[in-house]
Structure 1
Amino acid sequence: MSSRPAPRIAVLPEALAVLGIAAVGCETALALVGGLAVAGVGAAVLVAAALLAARYVHGAEAMDSDYRRKVRLVSSREPTLRYWDAAIDDARESLAGYELHLRPLLQRLYAVRLAERHGVSLYTEPGRAAALLGPELWPWIDPAKPRLSKDAPKVDPRLAPGPIPDRTLAALVERLETL
């Protein structure tokens, strides 16, 4: 694994000055309208917000590698065992069944396992993910490969036509377990 420095969030002095002036203005308005007690509550809220913002900026590298989007590895709807059984049956019947039903489920499991155990993103670091999976299994999981559509299924020339071989399916599951 290569150790690359994570980008840091730049805190501009001008931004801090504007926030400081806005905070002083708000406190002055609160003191004029509501008195000293309301100004005290306003000051407590501003201090709490400043501490949360500082913690967010300081801990961002440890928490999410400075990416400010929600990482969604597992969707909210978990497939049941019955769905997995149907997806495996579809994959054994045709390549289109694998592409449409089983491949997205396996990609999700591989994405979670690679992220948890190796700190590798299946989607943003495909080279590292391919090296961990191996060249014989990567074409079956590769997220960059276009998915088949339900309307016009086409066979990917990298994959053998027909259903997914049982040995390949077993190898995908075994590799997932060993990652």
Structure 2
Amino acid sequence: MGESTESINELTTSELLLVSSDVSNYKKSATAAWIIWLVLGLLGGHRYYFNQKKSATVMALITILSAGMGVIITLPWMLYDASQINKWLRLDIKEIENKSIDKILRNRKKIVKKALLDNSNKETINDTNEKPAPVSKKLSDSIVSLDNNEDCSYVNKWHIFF
């Protein structure tokens, strides 16, 4: 529990909002849990709802194979589960929070690693390019102007046609 408190403190506000949205989207409904307990409790339906499949299967087999006489066993078990449903709901929320926080922190570490790799690649590129790149001539140096005293007879030939 202490570990999740430390990791919650590392999250930004937007990441905390993502965690709370994951909890609200994926948590089990208390109303559904209690209705399932009431209607399908003898068959272990509420345990299936909380992914406790082994004990739910045992509960269903006791009820079905004993032709209802297993109520002597499953009814006290069902009443015990009634005291546990709220605990299971809280554990479900904690589990979703922890998974969401772990996912966010893993993604953050991937992003940091990628940024570090990108920076190290740039540094090695800069180290290997110690020679300055050749400077091309300026555009103005390559333009021939009519003011130059160079041979510009070709300009006069075109002047005749126009």
TM-score by length of 2: 0.28
TM-score by length of 1: 0.26
Q: Which has the higher contact order (CA 8 A, sep 6+)?
A: 2
Higher helix fraction (1 or 2): 2
